[in-house]
Amino acid sequence: MSLLQIQDPKKNRLEVVVGIDFGTTNSCIAFSDDAKPFVLGGDQKLLPSVLSFDEGKWQVGKARGISIASIKRILGKSYDQIMASDAIDPKLKEIISHKDGTLKIKVDGKYFEPIYLASLIFSELKKIAERHLKQEIKKAVVSVPAYFDDRQKSAIKQAANMVGLDVIRLIQEPTAAGFAYGIQYKDTKGQYLVYDLGGGTFDVSLLNIQGKVIQVIAVSGDDMLGGDDIDHAVGKHLDISLKTAKKLKELVSPSKDATVDKTKLTWEEYEKIAAPIIEKTIKLTSSVVGLSNNLRGIILVGGSSKSPLIKKMLSKFEVEILEGIDPDRAVALGAALQAENLSRAKSHILIDVLPLSLGIEVMGGLNDKVIMKNTPIPTCVKRNFTTYADNQYAIKFRIIQGEREFAKDCREVGFFELSGLSPMPAGLPKVEVNFMIDADGLLYINASESISGVNKELVVEMQNLNQDVTDILQESFEKAEEDLNARILKEQILKAEDLISKVHKILHKLSKDHDLGTFIQRLQDAIESEDTKRIKEAYETLEAKFTPICLDHFNNQISKLLQNTKISKFD
C-alpha cells in the first residue's frame, strides 16, 4: 500500500510582502508575483487618504462628519513649521495643538497624534491586502518622497509598525516608479527622468535603467509642493470649496471648460492659476535634467501629473513623455516589485542616492562634508578626528545636512558627545567615526577612540527643520561664491592662530630670547583686518623666521636624549 505524504499547505506558503504607496491624496497597496505586479482592492483600487471622525469612530477613505485630509504633510513636522507653512490647509491648522509639548490634533474634545492617524490608513490598506490575498500581511516595502528627512521617514515607519507591519525597506517614490518601468518595459533602457507630482509633494529623479540594474543618479524636489496647492489656488480664485475646486481641476482641459455646481472654470483661467505653481516644479526638473548627458524620456508619476498643462510645460525638454503605467499606481507597483525582489531573492538591483550632503561641524564652525549629495546608498564612510586642546576629555560632534560652507547655515540632524578620553596632548587622540546610511536612507554613526578605548553610538536627537530642502539648495547656489571666500578666510585665520600658539609655546621653552614679537604682532593685525592676502603674507613671514628656531630647538632636544647613548643600543 502506498503512503501519502500529508503536508500543511500553510507551511510551504511563501511569505507575502506587499508594496505600499502612502500618498497625500490617495494611498495604494500592491503585490507582485513573478515580476508581475498588480494593485489590490476593489474597482477603484485607490484609497483616499482621508480620515473622518463620525459617531465617535474614525473611518478611512470617506469625508463625512469631521474629516482630515493630507495627514502626510504634517508627519515629522514641528508645530512652528506647520503654522508657518502656507501649504497646510487652514482648517487642519485650526485643530492642531501643542499639548504638553507634543503635536496633536484635537477632534471632538479628544487629542490624537499624527502618527496614530496615519496608522489608520496603513491599517485599512493592510485589511484590503488580507481580504484579497486571504492571509495575514506582516511585511511591506513603503514608498516615501525623495526629500523626506529622517524624522519624516521614521514617522511613516512608526505608523506602519503600529498596525503590525514590519517595513523591510523604504523606497523613494520616483525611484519606485522608475523600477516599475524598468522591470515591466524591457526596452526602457538608458537615462530617464521621473517627474512625480503628488497631492502634497513633488519629486524628480534621474535614473539610469540598464536591464536589471536601476541606478539613481540625482534627485531633487519639494516636500511641501503638490497638486493640493493648485486646488487651494483654484478655490481661492473662484471662492469655492476645495472639493469643488478639485473636481474642476480634474475636468478642465484645452478642449473644454469645466462646470461643477454652477461654477465654471475655463482653460485660460486654469492656466493662469496653475502655471506659477507648476513652473516651480519645472525649475527643479531643469536642475536635474542638466545632469543628464543623454535623456531618453520623462516618466509621469502621481495623480496631479495627469494635467495636460504639465505635459505642455514639460515639452520644452524635447523628449518622449511616458504614460504606459497609470501615474496613480506606478509607485505602488514599483514598491511591490521591490518587495518581491527583497523577499524572494530576485536579481534586480536598485541603487538609490543621498539627496543632501551630510557633514560634521569642525573647528571654526566649518562644515566638513563627509558624504556628498547624490552619493549612492547604502554607503559607509570612515573619517578620523582629533582634539585641538591639551588634556581634552571629551569631543562633541554636531551632525549637519546641507551644502553651505558653515555649519550655522546648515540644518542640524543630531549631536552626541564622546567622553572619557584619557588626558593627552592635543592632536594625539585618534577618534575614528563611521557614518553609515542604510538602504532606507537612515543614518547611523559610531565613534571610537583607540587609546582610551571609549566607544559611542549616535542617538539622534532630531531638531526642528525650519527650511524646505528646495530652499536649502537654492540658497547654497546663490551664496556659493560668498561662502567659499568666507571659508578660505576662516581657514587662513585658524591656520594663523595655530602658528601663533605654537610660536609662543616653543619660545616659552627656550632660554635664549628670539625677537619674533614684531612678526607675531603683524600676523595678529592681519587677522583682525580679515584680509586674506595680508594674512597669507604675514603668516609666511613669521613661519620663515620661526622654522629655523624650531628646528634648532628640536635638534638640541634630540642631542640631549642621545647623549651618552651607545650605538649598539639601536642594533
178-229 pLDDT, tens digit each: 888 877 776 777 899 999 998 888 989 898 887 667 778 888 888 788 888 9
Write down the pTM of the prediction.
Answer: 0.65
> Given this model, what pLDDT does residue 511 score?
63
Residues 133, 137, 139, 145: is their CA dihedral positive or negative?
positive
Which residue type occupies 53? F
Residues 208 and 272 occupy one common structural domain = yes
Q: Do residues 50 and 154 share a domain? A: yes
CATH of the domain at 424: 2.60.34.10
Q: How many CA atoms lie within 13 A of 370 on its CB side?
A: 26
pLDDT tens profile 1-13: 344 333 444 444 5
Nearest partner of 39 among 26, 55, 28, judged by Cα? 28
Q: Is 549 exposed, middle or buried (0-12, 13-18, 19+ CB in 10 A)?
A: middle
Say whether both 325 and 392 belong to one domain.
no
Last residue of a domain, which of 447, 475, 503? 475
Indicate whether 374 and 285 sit together in one domain.
no
High-pLDDT (> 70) share of the chain, %: 89
Supply 509's cell numbers: 621653552
Q: What CATH number does the domain containing 529 carry?
A: 1.20.1270.10
Do residues 140 and 27 share a domain? yes
Last residue of a domain, one of 475, 491, 506: 475
**253 DSSP assignment:** B
At residue 286 the predicted structure's pLDDT band, cuts being 50, 70 and 90, is very high
In a domain, 219, yes or no: yes
Q: Count the Cβ atoms, other than its own, within 10 Å of residue 132.
A: 17
Q: Does residue 409 sit in the same domain as residue 343?
A: no
- Residue whose C-alpha is closest to residue 413's, from 71, 153, 47, 90: 153
Indicate the pairing of strand 295-301 with strand 190-197.
parallel
- Does residue 69 have a pLDDT over 80? yes
Q: Looking at the structure, do residues 186 and 269 belong to the same domain, yes or no?
A: yes
570 within domain boundaries: no
**Residue 161 host element (H or E):** helix 150-161
Range of the domain at 447: 358-475
Whether residue 451 sits in one domain with residue 325: no
Distance CA 298, CA 204 (A): 10
| Contact of 438 with 461, CB cutoff 8 Å | no
Interior angle at CA 86, CA 82 and CA 91, nearest 5: 70
Dump pLDDT digits (tens) for 87-136: 787 888 888 888 777 889 988 888 899 999 999 999 999 999 999 999 99
Task: Classify residue 6: in a domain, yes or no.
Answer: no
The verdict on residue 434 lying in a domain is yes
- Show the cell assigned to 151: 524624522
What does the alpha-carbon distance between residue 273 and residue 277 come to, in Å, rounded to a whole number?
A: 8
Q: Which of 449, 475, 501 is the last residue of a domain?
A: 475
Residues 319, 365: one domain? no
As for how many domains the chain has, the answer is: 3
Query: What pLDDT does 88 receive?
Result: 81
More confident residue, 560 or 299: 299
Whether residue 327 sits in one domain with residue 418? no
CB-based burial of residue 287 (10 Å sphere; 0-12 exposed, 13-18 middle, 19+ buried)?
middle
CB 41 within 8 A of CB 35: no
In a domain, 307, yes or no: yes
CA distance 436 to 416: 16
509: three-class secondary structure by DSSP: helix
| Same domain (yes/no): 110, 213 | yes
Residues 363 and 294 in one domain: no
Q: If pLDDT is split at 50, 70 and 90, which confidence band does 29 have?
A: very high
